[in-house]
Amino acid sequence: MQSLGRLNILSSVSRLQRDLRFLFLALFLWTFGLGLYNYVWPVYLRQLGASPDNIGLAYSVGYVAFAASMIPGAILSNRYDLRKVLIASWAFSVPTPIIYLIANSWQEATGGLVLLQLTSFGIPAFNAFIVANSEPDRVSSSFGSTASAAPLGMVLSPLLGSLMLQYTGLNGIFLLSFGLFSISTIVLLPIKKYPGKKEDFKIRLEIPRSLAEVFLLGFITISALAFSLVSSFLPLYYQDAFLLKPVIIQLIGAVQSAGAATFAVLIGKRAEAHGQRNAITAGVLLAASGLFGVVLGGSVLVAVPMIFFFGAARSPTYVAYSLLSKRRPGASRAGTFGFYLTIESVGLILGSYLGGLIYGVSPAKLVLSGASIFVLLAIFSWLKLGPLDLTSGENLKTT
């Protein structure tokens, strides 16, 4: 019975504080709108004339916008009310489905992706808001439970998106996505205000100050690279290797999201029960096994259940950020995340760009490369994230 309780995502969400439940709902609705088309977006770009390297470039440009928004987002989150920053970031994303609707080329569609990624300036506020609304001994599970809204929203929406593709096409999907983005923004209105603190008004970016934090940043960055190397191209792999139609690709995406939602909660709980190193290592090994299974299984019947395990790929990062929040209890509330998120996005940029190049040479080698990196990350996390004391690591000399 206890194991069944651990698998109950909604039970974990119900234990969140009031404002985190609102944040969970807003994120769920937003990602539901995104999930309507997310898993066929690379196929959509291909239909607009994009080659694999063009698709990799499009995602890389989007992640450049993501990176550019992180430090300004951290500064805004320090100086201004977290509630206002969150609502603004949500609201700025609302027009993006309309841009996709009217796009006539993959370059124009990329403009919509750039706008979507620029709205990520709210992520430092999102992370700081979770910390502010969490008990000290439940930060890891609060991160996991709140963040599980994203993959959970993308479990059900690809099913609806698959159905809509047959009757309304992408135009209807983009219009519904526009509506859901709008509603998700309204949901944030009741959350409490968290005005900026005077002591945080100065620009305070929390760079690594110990060997432990350097290792933590290295893990976050390489994990992002491995994820983006593969994730944007899996829909193309399904289409090319298994000759699947977009309708079926959507359904496989739902399986991946189900894994992401499940492991976001389970890995967070494992971190609290067995330690962060144990949880992080388990998460990346699950992701690696999923990718190996997709390619080596040789058929869609094997790929579908194995992609569920790849859903664990981002869960270790949630644990890493919760660990970072404990590492810097006296740091500015969002400055801690701004620098780390910026460097993480460098991994996302490089991974997407390299993925496009490698996919053009060999789609299977691309997926296997991502799996291999996750295996190396598991070894790294076990050896380097455990022995160091992440609450009092040796200080590095900083200026």
User: Domain map of the chain by residue range?
Assistant: 9-189+203-384
- Which CATH code for domain 9-189+203-384? 1.20.1250.20
Residue type, 150: A
Residues with Cβ within 8 Å of 198's Cβ and at least 6 positions away in sequence, in order, are none
Give a three-class secondary structure readout of 136-156. Answer: HHHHHHHHHHHHCHHHHHHHH
Residue 206: CB atoms within 10 A of its CB come to 19
Q: pTM for the complete prediction?
A: 0.81
Provide DSSP, 167-228. HTHHHHHHHHHHHHHHHHHHHTTTSPP-PPPGGG-S-------BHHHHHHHHHHHHHHHHHH
Assess contact for 319 and 283: CB atoms under 8 A: yes
The pair of structure tokens assigned to 386 is 């455990």
Please tell me the distance from the alpha carbon of residue 11 to that of residue 145, in angstroms, as a whole number. Answer: 9
H or E element that contains 349: helix 335-361
pLDDT per residue, tens digit, the chain (399 aa), is 334 344 456 667 777 788 899 999 999 999 999 999 999 999 999 999 999 999 999 999 999 999 898 888 888 888 888 999 999 999 999 999 999 999 999 999 999 999 999 999 998 888 888 878 877 667 667 777 887 788 788 888 998 999 999 889 999 999 999 999 999 999 999 998 877 665 555 555 567 777 888 888 899 999 999 999 999 899 999 999 999 999 899 999 889 988 988 888 788 788 877 888 889 999 999 999 999 999 999 899 999 999 999 999 998 988 887 777 665 555 545 556 677 888 898 999 999 999 999 999 999 999 999 999 999 999 999 988 764 444 444 433 333
Please tell me the distance from the alpha carbon of residue 17 to that of residue 24, in angstroms, as a whole number. Answer: 10
Please tell me the distance from the alpha carbon of residue 112 to that of residue 177, in angstroms, as a whole number. Answer: 13
Please tell me the distance from the alpha carbon of residue 64 to that of residue 71, in angstroms, as a whole number. Answer: 13
Please name the residue that has the structure tokens 């709902």. Answer: 25
Residue 202: CB atoms within 10 A of its CB come to 11
Local structure of residue 164 (DSSP, 8 states): H
In three-state secondary structure terms, 395 is: strand
Residues with Cβ within 8 Å of 3's Cβ and at least 6 positions away in sequence, in order, are none
